[in-house]
Amino acid sequence: MFAKKVKTKINVMYFEKDRIFHIYNQGNNRQPIFFEERNYLFFLQKMQVHVRPYADFLAWCLMPNHFHWMIYVKETELPISGRQENLKNKKFIIKNDGIQMVEKKAGISSSTSLNQSIGTLLASYTRAINHQEGFSGSLFRKKTNAICLNDNSLTLRSWVEAMGITILNRDIPENQYTKICFDYIHQNPVRARLVKNPEDWEFSSYKDLKGLRNGKLVNRNLVKELGLLD
């Protein structure tokens, strides 16, 4: 029997062009969101389709029950292209023999925002996992967090304290916040004791940034320009 289809309500996130954001969410009640290797790969495909048109990835890490992205926003809203309209009219389900695309009822819209596109990503991924695992209801927490890292009007004090990090005053504090977040994302698997070294975790951008893998999702040149690579 198919799992009950769920409508995932995604909170409104406010994005600005030419800003760097840390985006993260976790499984509802800290439950896993990735169960098999193909789930990680499927989620990465969705990141490519739903986020890359709007932003460059500077760092990303997929953990068993949560994910982290660091993105540089290029556009907050885009017109719907023919390819996007085609994808919008389809849904994806994970089956034993791979990922299957099926038709769904089309909506009417001339443009879509980055916020909406992230919501589509999480909702469609939820439906696929519910189908795979026989779940129903929300897979992710209702609130997806988007923290601007290079805006001096945001002190980020509560975020830094939540991460257990003390930030010293710097001449350019926004650079300090960005670098701390960049390193934190890649150290997640080590902190969780899943691996001994960040390069041992397959589902992060660390290998790509260090030249150990030729992944295309992260913008290595922009990361270097921003001085985030050691």
What integer pLDDT is reported at residue 213 of this predicted model?
A: 95
Q: What b/e sequence results for 170-189 when a residue is b if at least 16 CB atoms lie within 10 Å of its CB, and e otherwise?
A: eeeebebbbbbbbebbbbbb
Domain ranges for the chain: 20-224
What integer pLDDT is reported at residue 88 of this predicted model?
A: 52
Tell me the per-residue pLDDT of 84-128, one tens digit each, with 9 for 90 and over. 555 555 555 555 444 454 545 444 457 789 999 999 999 999 999
Phi and psi at residue 186, in whole multiples of 5°? -75, -20
Residue segments in the chain with a per-residue pLDDT below the cut of 70: 1-11, 81-109, 152-175
- Provide the strand spans (E) within the chain: 20-26, 55-63, 66-73, 77-79, 90-95, 98-103, 111-113, 145-148
Length of the chain: 230
Rounded Cα–Cα distance for residues 224 and 226 (Å): 5
CB-CB contact of 120 with 7 (8 Å): no
Classify residue 30 as left (phi > 0), alpha (psi -120 to 50) or beta: left
What integer pLDDT is reported at residue 16 of this predicted model?
A: 93
Max CA distance (Å), the chain: 59
Rounded Cα–Cα distance for residues 225 and 178 (Å): 13
CB-CB contact of 27 with 33 (8 Å): yes
Annotation: CATH topology of 20-224: Alpha-Beta Plaits (3.30.70)
Confirm whether pTM is higher than 0.75.
yes
What integer pLDDT is reported at residue 223 of this predicted model?
A: 96
24 three-class SS: strand
CB-CB contact of 177 with 160 (8 Å): yes
Instruction: Please name the residues in contact with 194: beta carbons below 8 A apart, sequence gap of 6 or more.
Output: 63, 64, 201
Percent of the chain with pLDDT over 90: 62
Rounded Cα–Cα distance for residues 26 and 145 (Å): 10
What integer pLDDT is reported at residue 73 of this predicted model?
A: 97
